[in-house]
Amino acid sequence: MRSTRLLLVLLGLATLVMTGCSTDWFFVKNLSTYGDKVDDIIVLITAIAVPGFLLTITAMVIFVVQYRRGKGNKAEYIKGDTGAIVKVIIILDVVVLLLDLLILFHTLDTFYSIDGEIVKKESSWILPIKKGNSLVLPTGANYKLEVPNAEVLEVNVTLSQFSFTFSYPGKDGILGTDDDIESTGVFHVPVGKKVVIHITATDVIHSFFVNTLRLKQDAIPGRTITRWFEVDKEKVEKARKRPKFDWNKDINGVEIHDLAKAIVGMRTQLGDANYGRTQTKIDNLKAVVSAKKDVKNAEKDAKKKADLERGIKGTETRIQDYKAEIKDVNSGKTKQEMDQKIKKLKQLYENAFLGQRLVEIACAEICGADHTIMNAWLIIDSKEGFKKWMVQKIKDE
């Protein structure tokens, strides 16, 4: 029984570790008002499922050790169609069902706090909804915005291969008119204000995913789906761990918008260097193979053949150049330049409070050959800073 006791102790320790860990240990820091609820449901499931799993596996290990044939154990004839063991299994099934219900109630609460707080249902096609003192009978899904427009910022988010475009209301303050302000690849939002986004796609299915806000929504061509979020000011300030800071500037006093521009520029340079090389290599190799095939087919036509051979030579030269470039990158000056750029970019991220003011937006749904590089930035601004940016944008337009 010593082994049994040891296993039980280990089980207890593992459960403590798994359920006792801070959520920060697992998750990217959350900055939205509802994100904690999403994290909480994940912790709740962990607290239920992990001990359940460990208990089952511990029982299995105990049975294997305790009743192994080497010890001379003779098996007992237990069919398990009736008797105490059946009761045990039924009780365990009921426990699982009850725990499922516990998860269910919490997960629905979480879901409705995301889906229902701003974009609230008037009625449902399945259940009657309480409205005032009366119940509204099911009449089909019907949604409306409950918050007055003045209190929210509405933005159209359009995804297409392979970019994000954000449209804000322009001078007239109405979204969807000719004077809308557009921003590609950078999504400016004010802190502490509800942002309602209308997401759509122009070509294939994409996904609008902001990990730091716990927000994910597929963008479907032909449909516009409305979601919302609010960046919690307290969470941003807490995450930054600085009691005093200027919302509009980075730690060196550089305007945050200028910093964002610098980061986007640096990213493009590095991205071209990293991805461009691989893609060029593959495209060139494919071109050589295809051109060689064409030469074979064009054997009879001397002029065509000569043209094609020139083409091959050109491509081969490009490959040679490319190889030389790679050599530079890997061993010489270019590598040093790249390293410096990366170092600089890291510094810029740090200055811009990566994960706190500067946040990744990604497309999480595979959407074509360049899906890998389909991303954008969310810049979290103070209300004043955001206003200033809008005014500047309107002027520029």
Partner 1 sequence: MSATHAAGHHNDSFISKYVFSTDHKVIGMQYIITGIIMAFIGGYLAYKFRMQLAWPELGIMGRADYNSSVTIHGLIMIFWVAMPILVAAFGNLLIPTMIGCDDMAYPSLNMISYWLFLLSAIVAIVSILVGGYGGGWTLYPPLSANMASAGGGGAYGSTLPGIFSGGSLIIVAIALEFFAFLMGGLNFIVTTVNMRAPGMGFWDIPVVVWFIDLAVLVFMFSVGPLIAGAIMLLFDRSLGTGFFDPAKGGDPILFQHLFWFFGHPEVYVVLFPSIGFVGEIVSTFSRKPLLGYKKIIYAALIASFLSFIVWAHHQFVAGINSDMAVWFTVATMLISVPFTSIILSMVITMYKGSVELKSPMLWALGWIVTFSVGGVTGLYLGSVGSDIQFHDTYFVVAHFHYTLIPITIFGGMSAVYYWYPKFIGKHYNEFLAKLHFWLTFIFFNGAFMSMFIPGTAAQHRRIAGYFIETYPQMTEYQDIRIFTTICVIGLIITQVIWIYNMISSYYKGKIAERNPWKANTLEWTCASPPPHGNFETYPTVYRGPYEFSVPNREEDYWPQDQAS
CB-nearer residue toward partner 1: 114 or 155: 114
How many whole angstroms separate alpha carbon 187 and alpha carbon 208? 12
How many whole angstroms separate alpha carbon 102 and alpha carbon 378? 35
Residues 6+ apart with CB under 8 A from 217: 199, 207, 208, 209, 225, 227
| Residue 225: count of CB within 10 angstroms of its CB | 16
Q: Which two tokens stand for residue 326?
A: 């790679």
CB-nearer residue toward partner 1: 245 or 322: 322
CB-nearer residue toward partner 1: 94 or 174: 94
How many whole angstroms separate alpha carbon 242 and alpha carbon 280? 45
- Helix (H) / strand (E) element for 41: namely helix 35-66
> Shortest distance, CB of residue 252 to partner 1, whole angstroms?
19
> Shortest distance, CB of residue 347 to partner 1, whole angstroms?
11
- Could you tell me if residue 274 is left (phi over 0), alpha (psi between -120 and 50 degrees) or otherwise beta? alpha
Q: Which two tokens stand for residue 329?
A: 């990158």
- 386 closest CA partner among 191, 170, 149: 191
> Shortest distance, CB of residue 153 to partner 1, whole angstroms?
21
CB-nearer residue toward partner 1: 85 or 306: 85
CB-nearer residue toward partner 1: 181 or 215: 215
> Shortest distance, CB of residue 247 to partner 1, whole angstroms?
21
**b/e per residue, 354-386, with b = 16+ CB within 10 A?**
bbbbbbebbbebebeeebeebbbbbbbbbeebb
- 164 closest CA partner among 137, 199, 129, 132: 199
C-beta of residue 221 within 8 angstroms of C-beta of residue 380: no
C-beta of residue 373 within 8 angstroms of C-beta of residue 180: no
| SS3 category, 22 | coil
CB-nearer residue toward partner 1: 328 or 388: 328
CB-nearer residue toward partner 1: 106 or 393: 106
How many whole angstroms separate alpha carbon 108 and alpha carbon 101? 10
CB-nearer residue toward partner 1: 107 or 165: 107
> Shortest distance, CB of residue 194 to partner 1, whole angstroms?
18
> Shortest distance, CB of residue 345 to partner 1, whole angstroms?
6
The pair phi, psi for residue 128, each rounded to 5°, is: -70, 145
> Shortest distance, CB of residue 396 to partner 1, whole angstroms?
26
> Shortest distance, CB of residue 2 to partner 1, whole angstroms?
19
> Shortest distance, CB of residue 298 to partner 1, whole angstroms?
16
CB-nearer residue toward partner 1: 127 or 137: 127
